[in-house]
A and B are shown apart, each in its own frame.
Chain A
Amino acid sequence: MKNKFKIVILASNFARIIIRILIILNRRNINILYLNVVPLEDSQTMRCTLEVENSEESMHKVIKQIEKQIGVISTLYQESDKEKFIPVIKQEKSSMPSGYIQN
């Protein structure tokens, strides 16, 4: 089932990072409802906010692909009608998410 998700991406502000993110979504035929890009005060980073239509399972995989891109600093996502953002587990802090076997 498809839901609406809001994604917030913090990334280095270089020219083609937005396109790299959009390619990930386009390749999977994920519909983008809106896109907003704001440079942050230091002008070295930007915040990109998107709303997309996607399934929960696919969303998790897509976010991991976005996280992989060189220049992406962090990513958060949530279902549009919920309040709490789900932080994405970054590679260097690879603790185990729930659902996995715990020691």
Chain B
Amino acid sequence: MQEKTYIGSDILVKELLAEKVEYIFGYPGGAIMPVYDALYRYSDHIHHILTRHEQGAIHAAQGYARVSGKVGVCVSTSGPGATNLITGLADALIDSTPIVCITGQVPSNLLGTDAFQEIDVIDISLPVTKWNAQITRVCDITYIIRKAFYIARSGRPGPVLIDITKDAQLQKDIFQKTICQEVSNFHPYPQVHENNIKTAAALINSAKKPLALVGQGVTLANAEEEFKAFVEKADIPVASTLLGLDVMDSVHPLFVGMLGMHGSYAPNILTNQCDVLIAVGMRFDDRVTGDVNRYARQAKVIHLEIEACEIGKNIFSHVPVLGDCKESLPLLTEKIRKAAHKGWLAHFRIMQRKEEKIIQEDLNPEKDDLTMGEVIKWINQYKDKDAVLVTDVGQHQMIASRYFNFSSRKSQITSGGLGTMGFSLPAAIGAQFGARDRQIICLVGDGGLQMTLQEFGTILQDQLPIKIVLLNNNILGMVHQWQDLFFEKRYSSTELLNPDFMQLAKAYDMQGRKITRREDLQKALKEMFELKKACLLEVVVKKQYNVFPMIPSGAAVDEVRLA
């Protein structure tokens, strides 16, 4: 009997179903129409979320991937549809987010002819993808899609782009179930070497002043428990990177704060005083290290990392432990001795007191103007315990990172490496699909919100109960801060004349509320979290406000400024 044949777009959707894809974020167009036709046929199995811009679709796929741990999928058409994905691809690459993007392409006989909406997206996306490929024949669809998912999720995750020509979407072929369990010359999980573990354990056992730095790698490896067991056994203080904030509870006694440019005072200062630095799943970004030539020169560095090229890239590591930390951390925990570093931990607490004045000014201000810090303080009070915080980029992001209580796994989504303004609103949409039962709080500034404002439409269409907290200072706060500190108060193009956000909320059928007075804040937040529909809470906050502590660009970590 002859096997049943399907058109390429049906094979593509069947392949997505085989990969257990439940949600696709996307925007239709000419060259991807056969795929959308197939999605119509399979609409009982795959839910397509129509965003209002392709950038929104890819950020939503990122938000979905970050909160669920699964591969996010986004679909767009050729030409401008494909180029609109580039920012999201770059963001996903630098923040190691597993996503697969499928773009339509003009028929293969028109490639290179400057056809309508033809763009060489494969070459454009080369530097911003972990892997990409073009499909021009229906027979390649199955294998390439499987390979795309395998590459996106394996080892250090990343974005993959698949460009599929319209003729390949319409050709017929049989559907073969295949499994991709390896790709030749791709070794995503390096073997952990016993010797490196022994050396690292010996160094940790001899340490008097150890400091652990944790990054998103631990979250990506689902190794939060293993990490906790490791630091608790050796009694090591833990500082985290921006993306590693949800690895440990913010109130855990060993957690000493965030590292880097706007991190906490104590871990930044004491990085240059510790004797052993244990970096787990982080990459020594320049925002973390400041001047690399004056970074932890006194310390022996142990670096647990899954990707060989990250070891020694910015900071020399004396003991590199290559491998998945889900595997290497338990081996290390087994070999280390139970220890106590009370004196060393007390040192962190003493240092933290120096920051107290800033914390008080942020959280309990005496002046009339509302501060971003006090909004976060009251959000902590009324939010669900396992709420997910999605932040945009800028001052509010740093303040939220400093004061928000991350108390659950995968509870933080933000654009770290690329610093993409406009990320939070679409990412919150994706996160809501990735965690249907969790409370999603989108914290955004007035600048960032207006970069992807159109996604209010997606929230309306899908009736998502996202809680949007807009911290409105009517300026581009972080740039304004730099102008204030380093450009002699020449505020070039950072003032914003904003629209009436309440009218916008009304237009999109959101519950809107604007707060300008302190006495209204708590009640408004409490009411917002009790509502089961989308809300926009605009809080007008202090305009002249700088985020401290701060390490000026190019300074050493122990030159962190408190004012």
Contacts and interface: CB of A to CB of B under 8 A. Distances in A.
B62 to A, nearest CB: 21
B318 to A, nearest CB: 5
B375 interface: no
Contact of B313 (A12, A61, A91, A92): A61
B127 A91 contact: no
A94 B303 CA distance: 14
B322 interface: yes
A96 B195 contact: yes
Given A96-B195, A96-B196, A67 B308 contact: yes
B184 interface: yes
B318 A12 contact: no
Contacts of A100: 317-320
Nearest to A26: B127
Given A91-B322, A94-B308, A73 B185 contact: yes
A90 B317 CA distance: 17
A102 B309 contact: no
Contacts, number: 73
Contacts of A23: 126-127
Contacts of B130: 70
B183 interface: yes
B358 interface: no
Interface string A11-31: 110001001100100010000
B203 A101 contact: yes
A64 B185 contact: no
Contacts of B132: 16
A90 B199 contact: no
Main SS at interface, chain B: mixed
A103 B126 CA distance: 40
Contact of A101 (B183, B309, B319): B319
A36 interface: no
A103 to B, nearest CB: 5
A92 B193 contact: no
Nearest to A102: B199
B183 A70 contact: yes
B198 interface: yes
Given A64-B308, A71-B185, A101-B300, A16 B127 contact: no
Interface size class of A (residues with CB under 8 A): 20 to 34
Interface string A53-88: 000000011001101101111000000000000000
Main SS at interface, chain A: mixed
B232 to A, nearest CB: 25
Nearest to B195: A103
B486 interface: no
A101 B187 CA distance: 25
B355 interface: no
A60 B308 CA distance: 12
Residue of A64, A90, A95, A103 with highest tally of chain B CB at under 10 A:
A103
Contacts of B322: 91, 94
A16 B122 CA distance: 9
Given A16-B132, A95-B193, 5 more contacts: A16-B122, A19-B126, A20-B126, A64-B308, A94-B190
19 contacts: A12-B184, A16-B126, A61-B309, A68-B308, A68-B309, A71-B185, A92-B187, A92-B190, A92-B191, A94-B308, A96-B193, A96-B195, A96-B196, A96-B320, A100-B318, A100-B319, A101-B319, A103-B198, A103-B202
Interface of B: 122-123, 126-127, 130-132, 151, 183-187, 190-191, 193, 195-196, 198-199, 202-203, 300, 307-309, 312-313, 317-320, 322-323
Which 9 A-B pairs have CB atoms at the shortest separation, nearest pair first? A64-B309, A91-B190, A94-B322, A103-B199, A92-B187, A70-B186, A91-B187, A101-B318, A91-B308
